[in-house]
Amino acid sequence: MLDALQTAVLPAWSGTVYRHMFGSNPPARSNTSGARWNDPPVAAIYTSCERETALAEAEYYISLQPLRPRAKRTLYTIVVSLGSVIDLTAPSALTLLGITTDVLRNDDQSRCRLIGSAVNWLGHDGLLVPSARRDSGTNLVIFREDFSGHQFDIIGKETIAPDERS
C-alpha cells in the first residue's frame, strides 16, 4: 500500500476549496474525532474542490441527525497551497488500494481510514479523493495543523439558509 501511495504523489498542490461549518467553528478547525479518511486522534481538515460537493457532503451529514440542525451554517471559500499531496482521484489509483465505489460509500470506513493514516504517517500534507456523496466531486483532506510556509486563506464566506440543500 505504501508503494502504491508513493506513486500518486503530487509535489505541490494549490487551489480553491470549500468548507462547510456549523455555528461559529472556524474553517481551519481540525476534525480529531475521526471520519472517512482519518482515525482519531489524527487531525484532518475536510474540504471540497467544488461548492456543490461541500454542500452535498454537509447534507449527507445532516440527514444522519435525528433532527435537522438549526445552527448557523457557513460555507467558506478558501485558497490553499500545500506541499506534497496524494492524488487518488483516478479510479485506477483507488482500485490499486482496494477502494471500489461500494467501499467508498460504505459506512465501514476502516479501509479509507487505513489509507488516510498511511498518507499522514508518510508525512504528506493532504489527500485528494473522490466524494462519496457526489459522483463528480472531489474532496481534499488536509493533514496539516500548522500552515506556516503554506497557504490557507479565507477569501469568501456564505451563510447557508436552513432550507438550502445541495
> What pLDDT, in 10s, does the model give residues 53-85?
999 999 999 999 998 888 899 999 999 999 999
Domains (ranges, CATH) in the chain? Answer: 2-160 (3.90.175)
Separation in Å, CA 31 to CA 16, 96, 108, 121:
20, 27, 18, 17
Q: What pLDDT, on the 0 to 100 scale, is given for residue 163?
A: 61
The one-letter amino acid at 64: L
Distance between CA atoms of 132 and 106, rounded to whole angstroms? 9
**DSSP structure class, residue 155:** E
Nine cell digits for residue 28: 481551519
Global pTM? 0.93
> How many CB atoms are closer than 10 A to CB 93?
19
β-pair type (126-130, 85-87): parallel
Q: What pLDDT, on the 0 to 100 scale, is given for residue 166?
A: 44
Q: What pLDDT, on the 0 to 100 scale, is given for residue 164?
A: 54
Distance between CA atoms of 12 and 94, rounded to whole angstroms? 20
Q: Which residues of the chain have pLDDT under 70?
A: 162-166
